[in-house]
Each structure stands twice: as C-alpha cells, then as structure tokens.
Amino acid sequence: MTSEQKYNEADGENEALLFDYYDDDDVFDTFTDGDCGCDEGVLGFSDPFSSEVKPRILLMGLRRSGKSSIQKVVFHKMSPNETLFLESTNKICREDVSNSSFVSFQIWDFPGQIDFFDPTFDYEMIFRGTGALIFVIDSQDDYVEALSRLHLTVTRAYKVNPDINFEVFIHKVDGLSDDHKIEKQRDIHKRANDDLADAGLERIHLSFYLTSIYDHSIFEAFSKVVQKLIPQLPTLENLLNIFISNSGIEKAFLFDVVSKIYIATDSSPVDMQTYELCCDMIDVVIDISCIYGLTGDEAGAPYDKESMAIIHLNNTTVMYLKEVTKFLALVCFIREESFERKGLIDYNFHCFKKAIEEVFDVRLKVQRSRKLLSQRRWSRQTVPNGTQVPPH
C-alpha cells in the first residue's frame, strides 16, 4: 500500500459553507445547537415563509427494532457490539448531522411505544417538513404488528405530505441465510403493498432494503435514502460519468467522509464488495492520519485538501482516493495499465473538482436569494403599532 498524507491548518470555514447545499440558518425555533436533543410536545417552524429548510429523516418502528442502533452506528461510529448496551428510547430524539458532514438533514428517532397520532400531538407539523420516512422492521421477530403500524404510519403521512420518500429497512438480517433473506423481503414487500392496494393507495411507493449494522448494508441503504434528498444528484452523476469515461476509470464514488455515505456514483451498477472496499479505504486514510499525522500546534485535520491515498490490490486494480471538498472524497477503481496515465487522471480530476465547486456555488447563490426573498416576505407580515410595513 502506498499512502500520501499532508496536513494544513489553512482549511477555512468558507469552503465548508460553499458546499453545504442546505442553509445552516434554516433551522427550527424549538431546536438548540448540539449533537442530539430529545423533545416532547408540539414542534413548529421558526419561519413559516422560509423557502428551504433542512429535510427531516424520521426513524420509526416498533420497540427494539434497532432504530437507535442504526443512528449510532452510521453517524456516531459506535461499534455494533456496543449497541447491545443502548437503553430503549423513551422520547423523541433528533440529531442535526450537518455540523460535521456534507449531508445536511435532521434525523428524528421515534420511540416505538409513542402514539404520535394522539390528538394532542401535532403529527401534521412533523410530516410536513419530512423528506424521508424510514420504517424499521425486525426481520427476526413476528412482523404482523409492524406491518400494521407501517400501513397506519404511511397512510397518515402521505395525506399530510405526498412528497415523502417511504423507505422500509428489513433489519437484523445478519442472522439469516441468503434464501431466508430473500423470502422475508418478498413476503414483507407483498403484504405491505397488498395493504396499500386494499386501501386504494397503490400510488404510494415503498422502497425495501435488507440491512444489518454488522456489515456495510446499513451504510449502503442510508446512502440511497440520502441521495433522494440531494437536488443536484443528476448533475453529480453526469459529472462522474464524464470523468470516468475520459480517464479510463472503471468505477467512481463521491463519499461523505464522516458518515461513509456515498453521495453519488456513476451509472454502472454498484457492487457490495466494491462499496465495502471504499469504506475500508476511508477508514485507513483517517486512521493513519490520526496516528502518524503531525501533533501539537502543527497538527491539522485528519482529512484536508491535501489528502490523497493510493492502494494497489492483488487483482491488478488500483484504488485512488482524492479530496474534493472538506467533507467529500472521490474514490476510484482503476486498472493498473490505465493508472499509468496518472497525469491525465489528475488533470481530469481537477476539472471535475472545479465543476463540483460551480454546482454548489450556484446552489449557494440560489439559497441566498431565496433567503432574502423570504425575509422580505416575513417583514411584510409584521405589523408594528398597528401599521402595515410597506414592501421594500
């Protein structure tokens, strides 16, 4: 393995702001800064005229289905074995993952026993700002009750917000054989869609994933969930296709370094083993940087704009990692004969990186324009001393 790491403290905050595709100021009034908070009661928006807020991802399911474990493993790097000691969630816990990651959304973990359809609980406000609803089903338990709760949740949420992406995680499949996994998925898929058809709701689309915290399946499933919330996804995929076709690259991923969720990939199919190798490579780069990097006052971040790594596999394939932004990394699979033209690959990567910057620069300008417009609309609704404020 050949690895190159350099460290630089001049990694400014302006760069991070440039690539954040949701505005950090568009948050809810009831939330405070922090890694995780638990809320009880009615939740509301700070600005009802805000044109863009961070999308919410709701984690729902019955008790002990593995919702909190999923959140801890994916976004807190908790070892799967440590999740055995997690206490059962008894309140709604939300986490803002935009502080240390490229992806910008909020995850709300709902306890299995909570009745969020209680008349005193404003579930419409929750579903109205939701981008994706993940319902976790324990595959090793009797899932009749879970399917009933899934149907109730999906139908209520769809009436409030038809644009929600409904995702079903068939979880804890690590203890099942491959044939049993497929059988479980087929049975749950059929029952869930039959219930929707009986209610005349065939237009509701459910996506199903086989997941486990003991392998990379949970990261791949979350990647596909998050990709649906990224408005620039078609553009990113097109840029990756252009990049690999002109560089002799076989496969390329755009990774969020913190969560190991891949933001985009080219149009060729994703192989699970390839994805696992990418995740392992990111871990190697970060771990080596933390262990052998500069210490004291000279130390920089373990991942910065000079980060780069090359790994030669024993099947004549080369893995190549390059920093794209403060939070993003490009991981490529290249044949050794193609990697001999490394200069061409690096030049094409420079063009690719510049195009990525332009994509999110445009996004940032649109956000600022929308924010300014929403502030003006908000100010016109203010009536101080009984006098309507004239438009600016």
The domain that holds 349 is classified in CATH as 3.30.450.190
Final residue before a domain boundary, out of 229, 257, 286: 229
Distance, in Å, from the CA atom of 15 to the CA atom of 298, rounded to the nearest integer, reads 21
Are 220 and 260 contained in the same domain? Answer: no
What's the pLDDT at 343? 94
Q: What span, in angstroms and rounded, lies between the C-alpha atoms of 381 and 371? A: 15
- Look at phi and psi of residue 172 and say left if phi exceeds 0, alpha if psi is from -120 to 50, else beta: left
**Same domain (yes/no): 75, 209:** yes
Residue 390 placed within a domain: no
Domain span at residue 153 reads 56-229
In a domain, 41, yes or no: no
Q: Which amino acid is located at 344 in the chain? A: L
Shared domain check, 241 and 224: no
pLDDT of residue 210: 95
Q: Which residue, 185, 205, 229, sits at the end of a domain?
A: 229
Specify the pLDDT at position 85. 85
CA 256 to chain centre: 8
**What does DSSP say about strands 165-171 and 206-210: parallel, antiparallel, or unpaired?**
parallel
Q: Domain for residue 391, yes or no?
A: no
Residues in the chain: 392
Q: Which tokens belong to 84? A: 């055995």
Q: Is 82 helix (H, G, I), strand (E, B) or coil?
A: helix
The amino acid present at 211, given as its one-letter code, is T
CB-based contacts of 113, cutoff 8 Å, min separation 6:
63, 90
156, 223: one domain: yes
- Say what the alpha-carbon torsion angle 300, 303, 304, 306 is, to the nearest 10 degrees: 110
Number of domains comprising the chain: 2
Q: Are residues 237 and 178 in the same domain?
A: no
| CA distances from residue 189 to 137, 316, 369 in whole angstroms, order as listed | 12, 40, 43
CATH of the domain at 195: 3.40.50.300
Residue spans of the chain under pLDDT 50: 1-52, 298, 391-392
> What is residue 390's predicted lDDT score, i.e. its pLDDT?
52
- Asked if residue 249 is part of any domain, the answer here is yes
Task: Report d(CA 322, CA 309) in Å as an integer.
Answer: 7
| 197 lies in some domain | yes
**Same domain for 346 and 286:** yes
Burial of 226-243, coded b for 16+ CB within 10 Å and e otherwise, reads bbebbebeebbbebbeeb
Residue 309 located in a structural domain: yes
Do the bridges between strand 308-312 and strand 261-265 make them parallel or antiparallel, or are there none, so unpaired? unpaired
Q: Quote the pLDDT of residue 98.
A: 65
Whether residue 255 sits in one domain with residue 360: yes
- At 122 the pLDDT is 77
Determine contact, residues 97/259, Cβ cutoff 8 Å.
yes
Q: Report strand pairing: 249-256 vs 328-335.
A: antiparallel
Assess whether 209 and 249 both reside in one domain.
no
On whether both 225 and 236 belong to a single domain, the answer is no
Comparing C-alpha atoms, which of 270, 323, 322, 280 is closest to residue 19?
A: 323
Task: Please choose, from the candidates 316, 251, 255, the residue with its C-alpha nearest in 3D space to the C-alpha of residue 102.
Answer: 255
Does a structural domain hold residue 9? Answer: no
Whether residues 119 and 68 fall in one domain: yes
pLDDT at site 50? 34
Whether residues 225 and 315 fall in one domain: no
How many other β-carbons are positioned within 10 Å of the β-carbon of residue 201?
A: 15
295 neighbors 217 (Cβ within 8 angstroms): no
DSSP letter for 386, please: G
What's residue 289's pLDDT? 83
At 38 the pLDDT is 45
- Category of 63 on φ-ψ map: left (φ > 0), alpha (ψ -120 to 50) or beta: beta
Do 264 and 222 lie in one domain? The reply is no
Q: Within a domain: residue 316?
A: yes
